[in-house]
Amino acid sequence: MLNTLSTAVYNVFGLNVVSDIILPELIQISVQKEKVDVKIIIDDLTKSWSESEKTHGDFIVKENKVMFQIPSIATFSIEGGNKIIVSPMTGSIEGEIRLFILGTCMGVILQQKKILPLHGSAIEIDGKAFAFIGNSGAGKSTLASAFLNNGYRLLTDDVIAISLSQDGIPFVTPSYPQQKLWQESLNEFGMDPQKFQPLFERETKYAIPVHSQFSTETIPLGGIFELVKSNNEETEIHVLNGLERLHTMFYHTYRNFMIAPSGLMNWHFSTSAQIVRKINFFQIRRPSSHFTAHDLPAYILKTLKIEFKS
């Protein structure tokens, strides 16, 4: 049974969200009804799902509408950049439904609103946002956590929302004060997994609240670091240029397979091109043979110091 409250309003990615479902991960706010950007409602999608032709596996992707179904959890429909409909399965677990609302559903909302979502984590360094992107398991959240342990603040984990100002400056808008970390990372940081909630039953990835180290301000994007595992024993860092940057932006766009069928290819290319012209863009090749997060913050800060001086 879902924990519901029809009057709950939250802020996430700079959007005011009214939700039938209580979302304890988010920051609850008080706003006038006309200032709501997104509605999350509970409804029965059984007929709509069964009658729709699946276009991408268990996804239906059209312009301004995406539907998907997670077995034993729920069917979701994201429409027009302003509505998320949730149809829970019998016996579904509330926390797992929220995980997909705050992940895939909000990622689609951002795309539909033409806010570019990258898959990664972002932290604040000296008033600018720096994004860590990479494949699953590359160490994005772990690296962000290492920065938090050094006194820096988190802007977002999992989905990075990038928008452009009127004069073409890229900005990152905060999501919500929570990280997702594997048990291996918790062990390395000396954190007790029993103090945190697993994201899924029988899984060793945990939700880590970071309220005291969360940045709530939208700030300029200063740079992007792509994390890549390497067979080398030493960490290497390379500047990405030209088409490498555009390719990397597309590859690490959150749920990028939806961009073309949603009719957003031209928008994505144009937005990405404007973003990469304004920022530093690096690739970090880190050894896969051992845990490197303790050492990487100093390495990255040294690189940024050199770049900003040059």
The SS3 of residue 38 is strand
From the number of C-beta atoms within 10 Å of its C-beta (0-12, 13-18, 19+), residue 100 rates as middle
**Structure confidence at residue 310 as a pLDDT band (50, 70, 90):** very low
Residue with tokens 């920065």: 147
pLDDT in tens, 244-276: 999 999 999 999 999 999 999 999 999 999 999
**Structure confidence at residue 290 as a pLDDT band (50, 70, 90):** confident
**Structure confidence at residue 35 as a pLDDT band (50, 70, 90):** confident
Domains of the chain: 4-112 (no CATH), 116-309 (3.40.50.300)
This model's pTM is above 0.95: no
More confident residue, 274 or 53: 274
Alpha-carbon gap, residue 182 to 67, rounded angstroms? 29
Kindly state the tokens that stand for 63: 């312009």
Residue with tokens 């990615």: 13
Q: 82: Cβ–Cβ under 8 A, 6 or more apart, which residues?
A: 37, 38, 39, 109
Alpha-carbon gap, residue 158 to 104, rounded angstroms? 10
pLDDT in tens, 54-95: 777 789 999 999 999 999 999 999 999 999 999 999 999 899
At 69, which amino acid appears?
Answer: Q
- What is the arithmetic mean of pLDDT over 150-171? 96
- What is the arithmetic mean of pLDDT over 16-26? 94
